[in-house]
Structure 1
Amino acid sequence: MSVNEIKTFAVKQAGFEIVAELHRASQDITILFTGGDVPHYGVATVVSANQVLQSYRFASRPGHHHEEYVLTERLGKIIQPALQGNGVIIAGVHVNDITSEQMQATFKMTDELGQQIKKWLLTHPVAKPHETFAK
């Protein structure tokens, strides 16, 4: 996979879809994780093979922050063992008037997408690039 290629994963359940677009730059990845009625970017989570996940939550409305970190951190923990470098997961999944069934489906969908991404990363490793630095 070159720097400009994108690998797309998608799953549909409970009347809505979540899409994960994986972008790779050398051994690093970015995943855009969006879906529902109002896809957006509300949370960013950073992950690497040997560090604790960290999330940043944007404000969603006065007094509230986006909650997708529960999905991004779940996804990050699934893919973490397959990472060769750094990862950034940017997410926003909003289902209007979400039901309890749909809420539970988001966790199952995240797990399914995480397993698909992990499998793909393990079967499509990238050689470590040759880097030189200024002296």
Structure 2
Amino acid sequence: MSKENYTITADVTLMNKDLVVIITGGDVPHLGGIVSYDHKSRMSEKIYFDSHDGRKHKDIFLAERFAERIQDRLPGNLCVTAGVHIDGITQAQIEASFPMTVELAQQVLDWTLEFENEFDEPQYPTHLKNFKFK
């Protein structure tokens, strides 16, 4: 997805019902923040990584926006990382990042839902309740 002279991409891995998304772009892709969503508990957690001068990376806002857009419609858990850095970023480039992220989220959701009839349900043995690991 490209606007305002830069590109944001989403690399996506679907692991049965669970989804891992890596959002990167700009001049220096990196790991700025992580948002995870537990489908069963409906709880989200965030990890903010330190940036320069003791500040936190602002990329977490992209990961949050992406996750919030799709998490309730996914069949499983979600982990979104984001790291987009543009040297000398402008206000217009910052503002463009949000609709780009929303559009990427919709594309990923649409793609994920194409597989909804192919998910496997794990089978758990009931006879291992007192199993001891050695």
Of 59-68 and 108-117, the range deviating more from structure 2: 59-68
**In structure 2, what is the equivalent of residue 82 of structure 1?**
73
Percent identity of paired positions between Structure 1 and Structure 2: 33
Of 62-71 and 119-128, the range deviating more from structure 2: 119-128
TM-score normalised by structure 1 residue count: 0.85
**Secondary structure of 1:29 counterpart:** strand
**In structure 2, what is the equivalent of residue 5 of structure 1?**
none
- 1:40 shift after superposition: 0.4
For residues 48 and 17 of structure 1, the distance between their equivalents in structure 2, rounded to whole angstroms, comes to 29
TM-score normalised by structure 2 residue count: 0.85
- 1:122 shift after superposition: 2.0
Alignment of 1:6-45 (within 5 A): 11-45=1-35
Q: Highest CA radius of gyration, 1 or 2?
A: 2
- 1:37 shift after superposition: 0.4
8 Å Cα contact 1:41-1:92 kept in structure 2:
yes
Question: What's the Cα RMSD here?
Answer: 1.5
**Secondary structure of 1:31 counterpart:** strand
- 1:58 shift after superposition: 0.8
Which structure shows the bigger proportion of residues in strand conformation? 1
For residues 26 and 79 of structure 1, the distance between their equivalents in structure 2, rounded to whole angstroms, comes to 16
Alignment of 1:28-107 (within 5 A): 28-49=18-39, 50-107=41-98
The ranges of structure 1 where at least 4 consecutive aligned residues each deviate by more than 4 angstroms after the TM superposition are none
Residues 33-83 of structure 1: CA deviation (Å, up to 9, x unaligned): 000000001101002445232210111123211111111111001111321
User: Which sections of structure 1, spanning at least 5 residues, go unmatched?
Assistant: 1-10
For residues 69 and 38 of structure 2, the distance between their equivalents in structure 1, rounded to whole angstroms, comes to 12
- 1:124 shift after superposition: 2.1
